[in-house]
Amino acid sequence: MRKICNICGGEYKVVTINGKEMYKCAFCDNIAEKEDEKPASNVNSRTNIVNYAEKGEDVFDANINSVMEITGNNAKSRFSGSGFMIDDDGYAITNAHVVTENGNLLQNLKGYICGRTVDLEVKAVGSPNPSVGEDLALVKLRSVPAGMKKVKLADSKSIRNGQRVFVIGNSLGLGTCITSGIVSDKRRSVNGQDRLMTDCAINGGNSGGPIFNENGEVIAVVVSGIDEAEGMNFGIPVDIVQYFIDRTLSRVK
């Protein structure tokens, strides 16, 4: 590693003066003791912080068997979205608009997870209309693939503006991928509904998928974005999702 003189910016060379190794600038002859440098442990400490902040690979590996690609169709069109598992019996959360069209359930609903395609059954549906209810749905896999895992839901009180987040989902219906960003606003009113705002790259097909914190915990469910804006995407906060789960899961089991 090059050692730079703090006076002229020149490069230090190692010399021996009175039997002691010192640094001497090749340009201005400034002498500096080697002990005056910052210890290497300080550099390692900063490196560790950066690595901790960039751990999307850990979030992906921990949750790839928890996120589901969802497909369905009506008489004319095919639709795609995402969802995530909330218990070991095959129940999952997605958006109501992922499994319905104009209030009617889509046909041939299927989930792809753990390398298998499984039929889906809709158990409870909210409503995308803010005056009626939340854009959430509870669905169930008709059979549970080996290796499937349920997600962990975060404590909503732990969410902070600016924290790093990750979205895993079926972007544009082209298969599962991960994107990253930050929480732009942990609570914002959008059309009368409470939403979490993020600058994560989100596209059609991500709807119903999870937004994770760095610990791999779900902090929101992807629900919408503003096409005309850059990096203004929204999720349903985890406390609202938890309330929906509590209200529906015990009723259908």
pLDDT band with cut points at 50, 70 and 90 for residue 42: very low
Q: What span, in angstroms and rounded, lies between the C-alpha atoms of 187 and 220?
A: 11
Angle at 162 between CA 159 and CA 168, to 5 degrees: 70
Q: What span, in angstroms and rounded, lies between the C-alpha atoms of 91 and 183?
A: 27
Q: Which two tokens stand for residue 56?
A: 């999307």
Q: What is the pLDDT of residue 143?
A: 95
Q: What is the pLDDT of residue 157?
A: 94
CATH topology of domain 152-238: Thrombin, subunit H (2.40.10)
Mean predicted confidence (pLDDT) in 36-52? 40
Residue 43: is its pLDDT beyond 50?
no
Q: What span, in angstroms and rounded, lies between the C-alpha atoms of 76 and 98?
A: 16
Q: How far is CA 202 from CA 4, 105, 228, in A?
A: 45, 24, 13
| DSSP annotation string for 16-68 | EETTEEEEEETTT--EEEGGGSPPHHHHHHHHHHHHHH--HHHHHHHHTTTEE
Given the residues 80, 97, 184, 239, the one annotated as active site: 97
Q: What span, in angstroms and rounded, lies between the C-alpha atoms of 101 and 68?
A: 20
Active site residue 80: no
Given the residues 80, 82, 184, 207, the one annotated as active site: 207
Mean predicted confidence (pLDDT) in 5-30? 70
pLDDT band with cut points at 50, 70 and 90 for residue 52: very low
Q: What is the pLDDT of residue 8?
A: 55
Q: What is the pLDDT of residue 86?
A: 97
Q: What is the pLDDT of residue 208?
A: 96
Active site residue 135: yes
Rg (CA), the chain: 25
Residue 47: is its pLDDT beyond 50?
no
Q: What is the pLDDT of residue 19?
A: 74
Q: What is the pLDDT of residue 93?
A: 98
Indicate where the chain has its CATH 2.40.10.10 domain(s).
Answer: 65-150+246-252, 152-238
Q: Kindly report the backbone phi and psi dihedral angles of residue 69, in degrees, each rounded to the nearest multiple of 5, phi listed first.
A: -85, 130
Residue 33: is its pLDDT beyond 80?
no
Query: DSSP character for 238?
Result: H
The top-scoring range by mean pLDDT among 53-57, 66-70, 199-203 is 66-70
166 three-class SS: strand
**What residue ranges in the chain does DSSP mark as E strands?**
12-17, 20-25, 31-33, 67-73, 78-85, 91-94, 100-101, 104-105, 107-113, 116-125, 137-141, 152-153, 164-170, 176-190, 193-198, 210-212, 217-225, 233-237
Residue 85: is its pLDDT beyond 90?
yes
pLDDT band with cut points at 50, 70 and 90 for residue 103: confident
Looking at domain 65-150+246-252, its CATH architecture is Beta Barrel (2.40)
Q: Which two tokens stand for residue 95?
A: 């958006």
Q: Kindly report the backbone phi and psi dihedral angles of residue 235, in degrees, each rounded to the nearest multiple of 5, phi listed first.
A: -135, 155
Active site residue 88: no
Q: pLDDT tens digit string along 203-235?
A: 889 999 999 999 999 999 999 988 777 888 999
Given the residues 66, 80, 82, 135, the one annotated as active site: 135
